[in-house]
C-alpha cells in the first residue's frame, strides 16, 4: 500500500465521519423541533383571533396580527391569578412540611441510634408502595370526618410527608463523614444545629433537588384537588384550566381555545422561571437520583 493510498483512505474516513456528524446534527435539530412544536403551537394559538381559530387550515403564525387581548380575556374569564396564588400557597405549605419532617427524619435514620430503627425505616420505605391513587377513598373519608373538605388543610394533609424525600436525604446524610459531626458537637451544636450548620449545607444540591421535585409536583397536582376542591377560593391552577376547557365544548366553541391557550401559557410562567433559576442543578440532580 502506498502513502497515497493511505492518505486517500484516511480522507475518505474523514469525509465519512464529517457526513455522519452532519446527519446527526440535522436529525437532532429535527427531533428538537418536533418536541418544541406543541409548545410553539400553544403560543401561536394563544395569539390568534377568534375568527382565525375556526379556519379550516390553521396557519403557522397568527395571520390576523397578534391578539394580546386574549391574555386579558383569559384573566377576565376565570380567576387565574387567584388559582395560581392558591397553588403557590399549597405548594409552599407542602414544601415546608415535607422538608421539616423529612430532614429531621432523614437525620434520625441516618445518624441516630434507637431501638427498632431498621424496622421503622422499612415502614417509611413501605409507604412508597402505597400511592394516593389507591388510598384516596379512605383519605377523603378521613378528611371529611375532620371537616376539611374544600380547605387548604385538606389539600395539604395527604402530601405533608414524603417517604421519597426521607429516603433520598438519608442516603446523602449517611455519606457525610462523621468527623464533621464530631467537630460540630465539639463546638456545642445540638441536633438542630448540626442539621442546620453541617448536614444541610453539605448536602445542599440534594436538598435543592428534592425540594424542586416537591414544588413541581405541587404545582402540577391534579388528582387530589379534583376530589377535594369545590370552590374557587382554594382551587389550584391545573384544575382551573381543565374546568375552563370543559366549559367550552371543543367542537362548537373552539374559537375560545385561543383564550384557553393564553391561560395555559400564563400558568407555565412560574415553571419557566423555576427552570431558568435551577437548570444546571436540576439536570444533574435528576441524574443523581437515578444513579443511586
Distance (Å) of CA 280 to CA 56, 93, 271, 285: 42, 26, 15, 8
Nearer to other proteins, 4 or 138 (CB): 138
Nearer to other proteins, 3 or 56 (CB): 56
Nearer to other proteins, 4 or 180 (CB): 180
Nearer to other proteins, 1 or 116 (CB): 116
Based on DSSP, count helices (H) and strands (E) in the chain, helices before strands.
15, 0
Half-sphere exposure of 191 (CA within 13 A, CB side): 10
Asked if 53 and 45 touch (Cβ cutoff 8 Å), the reply is yes
Give the C-alpha separation, 167 to 109, whole Å.
9
- CB of residue 49 to other proteins, shortest distance in Å: 13
Nearer to other proteins, 2 or 113 (CB): 113
Q: To 5 degrees, how large is the angle CA 244–CA 245–CA 249?
A: 120
Nearer to other proteins, 6 or 283 (CB): 283
Give the C-alpha separation, 160 to 206, whole Å.
19
- CB of residue 177 to other proteins, shortest distance in Å: 18
Nearest to 248 by CA among 237, 235, 263, 234: 263
- CB of residue 69 to other proteins, shortest distance in Å: 19
- CB of residue 50 to other proteins, shortest distance in Å: 12
Nearest to 228 by CA among 162, 144, 135, 133: 144
- CB of residue 210 to other proteins, shortest distance in Å: 14
Give the C-alpha separation, 91 to 271, whole Å.
13
- CB of residue 62 to other proteins, shortest distance in Å: 13
- CB of residue 2 to other proteins, shortest distance in Å: 23
List b or e across 207-216, with b for residues whose CB sees 16 or more CB atoms inside 10 angstroms.
bebbbbbbbe
Task: Locate 222 and state its grid cell.
Answer: 391534579
| Distance between first and last Cα of the chain | 52
Give the C-alpha separation, 236 to 118, whole Å.
38
Nearer to other proteins, 71 or 107 (CB): 107
- CB of residue 65 to other proteins, shortest distance in Å: 19
Nearer to other proteins, 2 or 118 (CB): 118
Give the C-alpha separation, 210 to 150, whole Å.
28
For the chain, what's the residue count?
292
Amino acid at each position: 500500500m502506498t502513502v497515497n493510498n493511505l492518505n486517500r483512505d484516511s480522507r475518505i474516513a474523514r469525509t465519512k465521519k464529517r457526513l455522519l456528524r452532519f446527519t446527526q446534527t440535522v436529525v437532532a435539530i429535527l427531533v428538537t423541533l418536533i418536541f418544541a412544536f406543541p409548545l410553539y403551537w400553544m403560543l401561536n394559538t394563544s395569539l390568534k383571533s377568534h375568527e382565525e381559530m375556526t379556519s379550516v387550515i390553521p396557519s403557522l403564525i397568527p395571520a390576523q396580527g397578534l391578539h394580546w387581548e386574549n391574555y386579558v380575556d383569559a384573566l377576565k374569564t376565570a380567576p387565574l391569578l387567584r388559582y395560581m396564588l392558591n397553588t403557590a400557597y399549597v405548594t409552599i405549605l407542602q414544601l415546608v412540611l415535607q422538608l421539616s419532617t423529612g430532614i429531621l427524619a432523614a437525620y434520625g435514620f441516618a445518624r441516630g441510634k434507637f431501638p427498632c430503627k431498621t424496622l421503622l425505616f422499612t415502614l417509611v420505605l413501605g409507604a412508597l408502595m402505597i400511592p394516593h391513587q389507591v388510598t384516596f377513598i379512605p383519605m377523603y373519608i378521613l378528611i371529611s370526618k375532620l371537616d376539611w373538605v374544600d380547605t387548604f388543610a385538606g389539600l395539604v394533609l395527604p402530601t405533608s410527608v414524603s417517604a421519597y424525600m426521607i429516603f433520598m436525604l438519608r442516603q446523602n446524610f449517611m455519606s457525610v463523614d462523621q468527623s464533621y459531626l464530631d467537630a460540630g458537637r465539639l463546638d456545642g451544636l445540638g441536633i438542630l444545629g448540626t442539621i442546620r450548620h453541617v448536614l444541610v449545607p453539605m448536602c445542599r444540591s440534594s436538598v435543592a433537588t428534592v425540594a424542586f421535585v416537591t414544588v413541581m409536583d405541587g404545582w402540577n397536582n391534579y388528582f387530589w384537588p379534583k376530589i377535594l376542591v369545590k370552590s374557587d377560593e382554594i382551587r389550584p391552577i391545573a384544575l382551573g384550566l381543565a374546568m375552563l376547557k370543559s366549559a367550552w365544548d371543543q367542537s362548537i366553541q373552539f374559537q375560545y381555545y385561543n383564550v384557553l391557550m393564553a391561560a395555559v401559557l400564563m400558568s407555565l410562567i412560574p415553571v419557566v422561571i423555576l427552570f431558568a433559576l435551577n437548570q444546571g442543578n436540576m439536570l444533574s440532580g435528576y441524574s443523581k437520583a437515578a444513579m443511586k
